[in-house]
Amino acid sequence: MIAMTMGEIADAVGGKIVGGDPATLVDGLSYTDSREVTSGGVFFAKPGEFTDGHLFAPQAVERGAALVVVDHELELDAPQLVVADVVDALGDLARTVIAKVREAGILRIVGITGSNGKTTTKNLLGTILSRVGQTVAPRASFNNEVGAPLTMLEVTDETRFLVAEMGASREGDIARLIRMAKPDVGVVLKVGLAHAGEFGGIEATQRAKSEMVTDLSADDIAVLNADDPRVAAMAPMTRARVLWFGEDGEDAPDRVRATGVRSGRAGTAFRLHLPDGEERDVAFRVLGEHHVANALAASSAAFALGVGIDDIVAGLESVTRAERWRMEVVGNARGVTVINDAYNASPDSMAAALKTLVQLREPGGRAIAVLGEMSELGDASGAEHDRIGLLAVRLGIDQVVVVGSGARRLHISTINEGSWDGESAFVETQDEAYSLLASMLREGDTVLVKSSNSAGLRHLGDRLGELFS
């Protein structure tokens, strides 16, 4: 964070200083997890769903917090800033810091949203931009009203690029983040059924994602996915210049596009085309053809910021995995390959992962899908689990193992569609799944573990990875 006095921070968030000197300078990082606090940092005692950050304020002080932001005064041997709402204060401070850094004139901001692919795209873009200037990008999936401002607070006067991943659980969430840091380049990847249950349907999801571009100015750039009709429909909603990306469109030289896409166990190769006529072959080592769209989105944002094709390609080729637990090869020994993709799952990403599994199946080997619940689908949940079960059969996947009662309907649909004898198995727990798979897997097998984060199958994937590493 840029250096600010306690008085300046108090003014930014509308708080009252207790036990501190307003003239004291603070320039450490900001945290909501007391275990991560470093000396000189600011600890925001955020109330949580299961606990309250105020309970951990003493630990934050022990670790060297220079200032603790609270919604009521505590008995602490450290300066406190008492505010009405800790999360609102975090956002207010982020907005103030971004505005101050903007005054230096070099900071450019990219906002990224979409139902799928946000984290992968921000990782790719962050890697590309880091080649040409100091870049701040989120850790993990820091994309909500807490994670996004924490990332924003990492900028300094030397920061050239801020990559802001902007997620949403309801309409208005993205608009709130944009008020903290309005993008120069706004990227919309896809509108799908992820979190549709929270939004209240796909139309509400589309409205929420469109918040990324509706407030852009005529000097800004909206990067839109030409292959997604719901994203493409956002073009008339923005004053910004539109830069399209997509795998389709050989007759559209003004878009960022890919041709000659070829997927395999080493990743995905394609030829990248930019609107200025430049083109290069890309050896993209991230597994899954569906990640080409994310590579195109990152390339588009970089191109919009003036980055040349050589740096774009070098950045893409240096990335070896999308993110932890996203199409990550965690085991590849004794002839068995384990791919852990269980950090998140929507119907679109589940379908893409299953298609990738079939593409990666070894000649003569088996494709085995270990699947858990896709959460937050609302009324569409049953039908979408049915659809994935049917898809698994139609793709010719050799063995399906369904884990957890929330995904049982997927198992039933698989059986009904395939009339199989044992090719789909259902177990209630991860331990049961591990025992079954440990006895079942053999040389030549390629195993995909896929579920929503709440189902926790990423831990099962790691256990299988250790077994075959």
Q: Residues forming the annotated binding site for ATP?
A: 114-120
Nearest 10 degrees: Cα torsion 329, 272, 356, 195: 90
Give residue 135's identity as a one-letter amino acid code. Answer: T
Question: 449 - beta bridge partners?
Answer: 340, 370
Task: For the chain, count helices (H), then strands (E).
Answer: 16, 22
Sign of CA dihedral 141, 123, 446, 439: negative
3-state helix, strand, coil in the chain (%, to 5): 40, 20, 40
Question: 109 - beta bridge partners?
Answer: 162
Say how far apart CA 373 and CA 42 lie, in whole Å.
38
Which alpha helices (H) appear in 307-456, and where do they start and end? 309-318, 347-360, 381-394, 408-418, 430-440
Give exposure, 302-329, as e/b (b: 16+ Cβ within 10 Å): bbbbebebeebbebbbebebbbebbbbb
- Spatial contact of 180 and 334, defined as CB atoms under 8 Å apart: no
Known binding-site residue numbers: 114-120
